[in-house]
Copies of this chain bind each other. A is one copy, B any other.
Amino acid sequence: MTQPVLNASTNTISNDIYQLIRADIINGKFQPGEKLQIKPMCALYQVGNSPLREALTKLAATGLIVQQNQRGFRIPQVSRKDLEDICNSRIHIEVAALKMAIAKGDDHWEAQILAQYHQLQKTQQQALVDKAQWERRHTRFHNALIEACDSPSLLGFCNILHDQFDRYRRLAPADANIRAELDEQHRKIMLLSIAREESEAGELLAQHIKLSAKAAMAMFPK
């Protein structure tokens, strides 16, 4: 009796394209407020009507797209209020998940944090930083921190918020000083987590999220 093997089965077009569009939105390939018309999108991604719509529907459910009845799909507008909401919720939920992970994490959890941090470091030390790779590894590092929280629902919410947050982060110009401080925070969060310093790690993660949002926040008037 073999296990159902999760669903490593063949990917669907709908699913492939969902991932593609998701990445493109986060990476700012579309403007805030931009209309995503069906026919042009089909042409752009080389797929048919149905799988495209399924992908957009799914993205709408995670807040990376907004859907209006009979009026199609568009990229959400950006605003200070929205960013503040995402930022606050992310702090609230991700910090809770980190504390739970610190309470429950095992050797494998610790090892994964170290592994992902190492990979992130390696990417940063390259002469010409591969932006897409950095994004992927940065996400993986943050996920590794909370993975042991043992709560699928919280992990799901963290992913949703992370995606929305990243769209804002990539919208803002990079700042070398802030970047350096963020990197240092990564290191400290890693060490504090593995040292099981629950509240200190949580507090630092909260600060880290706030600092990550700083550049994007500056784009909006108070």
Contact = CB atoms under 8 A, between A and B. Distances in A.
Interface residues of A, dominant DSSP? helix
Taken together, the copies of this chain in the complex come to 2
Given A53-B54, A54-B54, A61-B58, A151 B9 contact: no
A219 interface: no
Nearest to A92: B96
Contacts of A152: 82, 85
Contacts of A145: none
Interface in A45-101: 50, 53-54, 57-58, 60-63, 68-71, 82, 85-86, 88-89, 92-93, 96
Interface residues of A, number: 37
A126 interface: no
A70 B12 contact: yes
A151 B89 contact: yes
A7 interface: yes
A2 interface: no
A71 B7 CA distance: 9
A58 B57 CA distance: 6
Given A57-B57, A58-B60, A92-B96, 15 more contacts: A9-B69, A10-B70, A15-B69, A50-B53, A61-B62, A63-B153, A63-B156, A85-B151, A85-B153, A88-B151, A89-B151, A89-B153, A92-B93, A92-B154, A153-B161
